[in-house]
Homo-oligomer: A and B are copies of this chain.
């Protein structure tokens, strides 16, 4: 079979190098073009020396797209810049996977509100599909433009979607407390990602205002439709890669999964039922939740339901999302914890997974990397 021809627009950042790392080991594609406006004329391995002898391709400016045969283009560009290219490539045959936030939200109006920026290509929203194959594989298959999810939303949505879909939790009071590695902040040096500000340190940031809040909200709304505003708080970890997300939610009383778990519906007596529920739920609340998640992700190769809380290294440099669910009988809270590698499942790996779906490849092609641990 002829290999698909791939272009990577914007290859100097972490996402750019990570997509090239994965594509260079993918059996179904060839990298036909890598671009960088700032480093055009140099070799890719001059910018990222660890590719020496592996990917020494010359970098071109994006103009080179015009005379290159391409089946699919990855836009590894910042938000606000990507939309220019999506617009510019609108008439071209190749398909696009866009890493930026420019086409992920419900509509241009919400975008402008949260990104404080005029959207120059609102038409793009019509065709754009949110690139989370665990939820939207059918739409992705035929999409011309896939909006690759944000790193936090990937972890958060995969953590919460089964509960929302099942109506298992109250629509109010969802707390999403996320902790991310530094590469999420990009490759540009600043006080935020300086070693001495990050090492042996930890902090919250973007409280109340982080743009991924609305992305999580929009997609969960799409899954269910009536979610109250979720609380999302990101924190910065002294690690390179990985996002661990801890979610707190309350069971929907009408959902009955706790009752089913405890068998209280059969008891007939409220008081006895309550007591039974307490005992049983300690045994089976977690079990019921795990079943719910296993069903939801039954045929999804990259989601692993874990018996113990996951660690970042359990998924590092791989496309897995590890999920742990539990029910705290004492407090009445559902707790969900997920771990992903923000550069892989939260960016480049997910993008290749989308590409695989789009090309009709097996979803795992070229993504069989075992996590690197330690």
Considering only residues 34-93 of chain A, those with a C-beta below 8 Å from chain B are 48-54
- Are the CB atoms of A370 and B205 closer together than 8 Å? no
The residues of A with any CB-CB pair to B shorter than 8 Å are 14, 17, 21, 24-25, 48-54, 173, 175, 177, 179, 182-183, 187, 189-191, 193-205, 207-208, 228-231, 233, 235, 237-242, 244, 246, 248, 250, 304, 306, 308-318, 322, 324, 326, 328-333, 335, 337, 339, 368-374
Given A199-B195, A233-B335: A246 and B309 within 8 A (CB)?
no
Q: Which residues of B contact A182 (CB under 8 A)?
A: 195-196, 199
Subset of 13 A-B contacts with CB under 8 Å: A49-B306, A50-B315, A50-B370, A189-B189, A193-B196, A195-B198, A199-B239, A202-B244, A203-B309, A204-B324, A233-B246, A238-B238, A241-B374
A176 to chain B, nearest CB (A): 10
Given A177-B177, A200-B240, A309-B207: A372 and B374 within 8 A (CB)?
no
| CB-CB nearest 8 A-B residue pairs | A196-B374, A203-B311, A50-B371, A50-B314, A195-B198, A189-B189, A240-B374, A229-B331
How many angstroms between the C-alpha atoms of A304 and B54 in the bound complex? 11
Q: Which residues of B contact A239 (CB under 8 A)?
A: 199-202, 238
Q: How would you classify the secondary structure of chain A's contact residues: helix, strand, loop or mixed? A: loop
Q: Which residues of B contact A309 (CB under 8 A)?
A: 203-205, 207
Q: A200-B313, A208-B326 are in contact. List 19 more A-B contacts (CB 8 A).
A: A14-B374, A21-B370, A21-B372, A50-B315, A50-B318, A50-B373, A51-B370, A183-B196, A189-B189, A195-B199, A195-B238, A197-B313, A199-B238, A203-B244, A204-B246, A230-B331, A231-B328, A237-B238, A372-B372
Q: How many copies does the complex hold?
A: 4
- Are the CB atoms of A194 and B196 closer together than 8 Å? no
- Are the CB atoms of B202 and A200 closer together than 8 Å? no
Q: Which residues of B contact A53 (CB under 8 A)?
A: 304
- Are the CB atoms of B312 and A197 closer together than 8 Å? no
How many angstroms between the C-alpha atoms of A374 and B53 in the bound complex? 18
A11 to chain B, nearest CB (A): 14
How many angstroms between the C-alpha atoms of A368 and B183 in the bound complex? 24
Q: Which residues of B contact A246 (CB under 8 A)?
A: 177, 204, 233, 235
Q: Which residues of B contact A316 (CB under 8 A)?
A: 50, 200, 372
